[in-house]
Copies of this chain bind each other. A is one copy, B any other.
Amino acid sequence: MKYKISGNVIRRLPRYLRHLDVLADAGIEKVSSGELGAQMGLTPSQIRQDLNCFGGFGQQGYGYNVLQLREGIQDALGVPERVGAILIGAGNLGNALLTNFRFSQCGVRLMAAFDTDPAKIGRKVNGTYIFSVDAVEEFAEDNNVDIAILTLPQAAADETARRVVAAGIRGIWNFTGKDLCLDENEAVVENVHLSDSLLALRYYLRSEERDL
């Protein structure tokens, strides 16, 4: 793909993938833009517009072939091309990711975890070794690490982000809740701000009550 896809479309593609997974698991072979739209709360024309960005997998009067569309979106997102990731901070949240998160479904290979706690270093969680944080630079030098997952306390967030970027890691998945002090061209940062999500839920809950 040579052209840029808009941020909103990029954000919707993983949602399409999830719905297509459900359809594929149910053995459904084709789906119309109307059906997909109804499931996802989008208009059929929105669906067609989104998916036309990728050359359009749909056929007039037939709809989309579920497996082909899924593959096309996976390709567009780069899923088949595995990238390597390390996780820094093996506390509760880090352990939750190590134990339950399906990295491979996102085309990500979790290579190692790092922590400062001597009681954790040297242990293995769900097949992933925990090393000392001091070894991050060495590990990044010896291995192809694309993404650092920060699941450590806020106080250590900026310093660790700087170390990670200095070690040549270009992607940061940031769970610290702190906006990192990095220049835009130093790294690609994806923040998971759980409080934003909870505040939005609260707002919608209250505005719904007002409507009753």
Contacts and interface: CB of A to CB of B under 8 A. Distances in A.
Q: Which of A15, A19, A171 has the most CB of B within 10 A?
A: A171
A96 B91 contact: yes
Q: Which of A91, A97, A100 has the most CB of B within 10 A?
A: A100
Interface in A72-109: 76-79, 81, 83, 91-93, 95-97, 99-103, 105-108
A129 interface: no
B208 A170 contact: yes
A4 B198 CA distance: 19
Contacts of A19: 179
A12 to B, nearest CB: 9
A207 interface: yes
Contacts of A195: 14, 18, 101-102, 105-106
A101 B95 CA distance: 15
Interface of A: 4, 10-11, 13-15, 17-19, 22, 76-79, 81, 83, 91-93, 95-97, 99-103, 105-108, 146-147, 170-171, 173, 179, 188, 190, 192-209
B170 A205 contact: yes
A25 to B, nearest CB: 12
A113 to B, nearest CB: 13
A205 B188 contact: yes
B193 A14 contact: yes
